[in-house]
Structure 1
Amino acid sequence: MAVSGTEKNGVNTEDEHLNNSLTNPGLISPDKEDMTRLLTVPFSGRIRGGMRPGKKIIVMGIVDPDPESFCVSLTCGRGSEAGPPKDVALELCARFADRQFLRRACISGVWGEEEAAIAYFPFIQDQPFRMEVHCEHQRFRVFVDGHQLFDFYHRVASLLTIDSVTIRGSLQITKLG
């Protein structure tokens, strides 16, 4: 889903159209015309002002009945339609076949090693979940259904450059903030 950068009376239309289901005005809908498609997967949206310590991203959804995987990525810039974003500060991937919740980053086009160790796999097919990604000074803290699963230390030089979120895979998004 493309985000337009059009202006109306000197106001960026990206900034004036917030979806009522967003619990935090940090994410911006693409266009008023796309409001009905805002929470469809794959999803791509902007994080107003970039990430910073104290900010969090909340993804509420329902896992598909026969899931393969889903990924939530915090990216630095949108990249082009033909290519990936410049940097991926954090990519979280739930893989159901091997019950792993992987995380990694891509800096200057180079993917880092995947981190996989978790105490338990929190996602269940055809069931709702609430995932929170809390940004702190040195790391992201990831919670699912109120339980802290892991920390992921920042790889990007500036948190403010983390300005987009993408979601794809075997899930339905019910709320995003």
Structure 2
Amino acid sequence: MIISANGKPFSEYKHRLPFSHVNSICVGGLVEVNLIAFQDLATHHAATPGSFRVPYKSIIHGGLQPGKAIIIQGVISHSANRIELNLRHKTGVAFYYSPRFDTNVVVCKSYENGKKVKDKRSKDMPFELGKPFLVTIYCTHQRYEVFVSGKEVHTYKHHYTKLEDIDVLEISGDVQLSFVQP
């Protein structure tokens, strides 16, 4: 098990029990915890870093639910135009997140049956060309919260509310992926 802090590997721990026997976690000391996520990485972790092919597509087993976190790590190309992250369901895209370097804007939107539902643009660009990144998309009851390197940078209200039906993650664009946890 790898333990990360502030988006960077911090420690490695060889666990002695199966994860199915763990029923609690204790955090002590002077610390503020923003997110703790438990996911089964066995089916998603690539054999070697950097071996996630782009475009990337994966099933989100069980769909989304409040408290679910999707983690994406990689490096942005030096000449990137855009990156696109999609959370899909059968009839559309529940959440489209796209840093666009050519216009220096981040676009959030959703689609239903091929038609745009809501478009939100932000000039707050938390990504840099040629630099590594760590994105966490955290699902709450009301919205998606996007964290970059541990800092909340964007939010987007749910327009498609059957969260359990949102079961596909797609990643495309000018990026090299090193880790994905759908």
Normalising by the smaller structure, the TM-score range is 0.7 to 0.9
Larger Rg: 2
The 5 A counterparts of 1:1-177 are 24-25=39-40, 39-77=52-90, 86-118=91-123, 120-177=124-181
Secondary structure of residue in 1 paired with 2:121: coil
Report how far residue 112 of structure 1 moved: 2.2
- Residues of 1 paired with 2:77 and 2:136: CA distance? 19
C-alpha spacing 1:146/1:153, structure 2 compared with 1 (3 Å): same
Higher helix share: 1
What do residues 132-174 of structure 1 show as CA deviations (whole Å, max 9, x unaligned)? Answer: 1000001111111111112111011300000000000000111
Secondary structure of 2:164's partner? helix
For 2:115 and 2:42, how far apart are their aligned partners in 1?
A: 27
160 and 28 in structure 1: CA distance in 2 versus 1, 3 angstrom threshold: farther
Residues 27 and 47 of structure 1 are in contact (CA less than 8 Å); yes or no, is this contact kept in structure 2? no
What number of residue pairs does the alignment pair up?
142
Instruction: Give structure 2 stretches of 5+ with no counterpart.
Output: 1-37
Cα distance in 2 for partners of 1:97, 1:109 equals: 25
Q: Which amino acid aligns with 1:146?
A: G
1:83-114 CA-partner distances (Å, limit 9, x unpaired): xxx21010001110111111100023211232
**Letter aligned with residue 130 of structure 1:** L
SS of the equivalent of 1:112 reads strand
Q: CA deviation at 1:123?
A: 1.0
What secondary structure, in the 3-state scheme, does the structure 1 residue paired with 2:119 have? coil
TM-score (norm 1): 0.73
- Identity among equivalent positions (%) equals 26
Q: What RMSD over aligned residues (CA atoms) do the two structures have, in Å?
A: 2.2
Structure 1 pair 87–117 and aligned structure 2 pair: CA distance change class (3 A): same
Contact 1:27 1:48 in 2 (8 A): no
